[in-house]
Amino acid sequence: MTESIIQDEATLQHYLKNRWIRVITALFAMVFVSVYEYSWTLYTSGIAKAFHTTATAAVVGGVFSTYVVVQAVTMWLFGRYADKHGPRLISIIGGLITGIGYIGSSFAPSLLVLYITYGFGSIGVGIIYATAISSALKWYTGKKRGMMVGLIDLGFGGGAFALSPLIKYIITETSNFRSGFLYIGIAQIIIIPIMGLFFIYPPANFLSPDEPKAGSKIRKRVKKGPGEYRVAQMVKTWQWTVIYVSFFLIVGAGLAVISHLVPIGEAKGYTVAAFLAVFLFPFANGFGRFVSGTVSDFLGRPLSMLIFFFISGFSMLGAALVSGAAYATLYIVLIMLAAFGWGPLFALYPPTVGDYYGAKHSGANYGFTYTSKALGGLFAGYGFSLILTHYPGHFFLIPLVIASIMAIVAGLMGLSLRPPKKIIPGVEVTEPPGTS
């Protein structure tokens, strides 16, 4: 138990009765790390003013890119660690790092130091994300897997919906972006480690009591691979290449929009609508994760990707074409629909990886897949900022059209996915190919 991986049957049965506690505590931990991603745009104006630049400058967007890269790489590294040694201790440490990074950012005297402090805190975000998502993948291997991943991810996608208004209030009342970092950082350093105390994994060979039988209706829609793959074996399948590339396309499209919500809205003349979009985006984003995860348990992951990514892509296209004060409400609706269709990527790819490549190494496997977000973050922070610089007019038309095309292509790629059938040497076979 010191490693927080259950080893005996009696203990397993005890925790199995209240495995929902792992989901709830993971959800709350995700709420408090979510602000690194979804509340970032609230700080950009204050940061730009303090360091004599602009909110859309690549040097400011680079801080966000640093977060995405560090979080993604950290998730893979510590996902592997937690698979072997358990999630509890590393999650507690991750919570402390998250809070220290936010508090440190409140005292950053320069952009260089902000890169360091925000990047350091991003390590904690990656740790919490890895252990929280793996809790769902490992405790729920059956028909509720998509729903539970979506529920935990609701905390990350929707957490900023609760905290962003508070951050905006703090920044406005103090006229200082640093206060937002400080007070939220103090909350993080207290609450996240407490949630981490409840993190624990089942044994490596655990199967949910609700695991559907081969040939059942749900197994025909939610198909599984033939065994337990390690990262080195997973990357040799064509399915993983499709997963990785489509992940980059959809995550890069959404992150580009998220990190520039305020300047995009302001450029269109929607000053009030721009800030409303910041608050409502996480709500729609989080709600979409839960809905899509649940829906995918019935429709299957590939079809769900097509549906939700198309919703996001065509909504981004609509937001690109909208301008003029009379369409402010429509703009908010389109941004919310884009968020509703984009957030599901984080509820659909984890169970897809778990279904195709097994739960045993899910922390490492999804963590490595998640590094695609690092590439998407580079595009969103640096690449998108450069596009905005070269095409500053037309109400961000060209950048938003590019993002919409990326989302639509990701949906088409997702629809092509099927579980691997060829058994690669070294794969621990759990069921013969074709039985799912």
Answer yes or no: is pLDDT of 143 > 80. no
pTM: 0.80
Answer yes or no: is pLDDT of 2 > 70. no
Residue 57: which region, alpha, beta or left (left: phi > 0; alpha: psi -120 to 50)? beta
What is the distance between the alpha carbons of residues 406 and 185, in angstroms, rounded to a whole number? 34
User: 429 - beta bridge partners?
Assistant: 227
**For residue 209, what pLDDT is reported?**
73
Instruction: Quick: pLDDT tens for 277-299.
Output: 877 888 898 899 999 999 998 89
- Share the mean pLDDT of the chain: 87
Answer yes or no: is pLDDT of 1 > 60. no
256: its two tokens: 């580009």
pLDDT category at 53 given cuts 50, 70, 90 is confident
| 8 Å CB contact between 337 and 317 | no
Cα dist from 69 to 265, 371, 409, whole Å: 26, 7, 23
Domain residues of the chain, as ranges? 9-429
**For residue 220, what pLDDT is reported?**
59
The pLDDT > 90 percentage for the chain reads 49
Instruction: Quick: pLDDT tens for 332-354.
Output: 999 999 999 999 999 999 999 99
C-alpha dihedral sign at 82, 354, 124, 67: positive
What is the distance between the alpha carbons of residues 314 and 403, in angstroms, rounded to a whole number? 10
**For residue 429, what pLDDT is reported?**
82
**For residue 432, what pLDDT is reported?**
55
Instruction: Quick: pLDDT tens for 350-400.
Output: 999 999 998 888 888 999 999 998 888 888 777 777 776 776 666 577 878
What is the distance between the alpha carbons of residues 228 and 205, in angstroms, rounded to a whole number? 10
Q: How far is CA 344 from the centre of its chain?
A: 9
What is the distance between the alpha carbons of residues 28 and 198, in angstroms, rounded to a whole number? 11
Cα dist from 42 to 178, 230, 391, whole Å: 11, 40, 23
The pLDDT > 70 percentage for the chain reads 92
336 or 428: whose pLDDT is higher? 336
**For residue 219, what pLDDT is reported?**
52
CATH label, 9-429, candidates 1.10.260.40, 1.10.15.40, 1.20.1250.20, 3.50.50.60: 1.20.1250.20
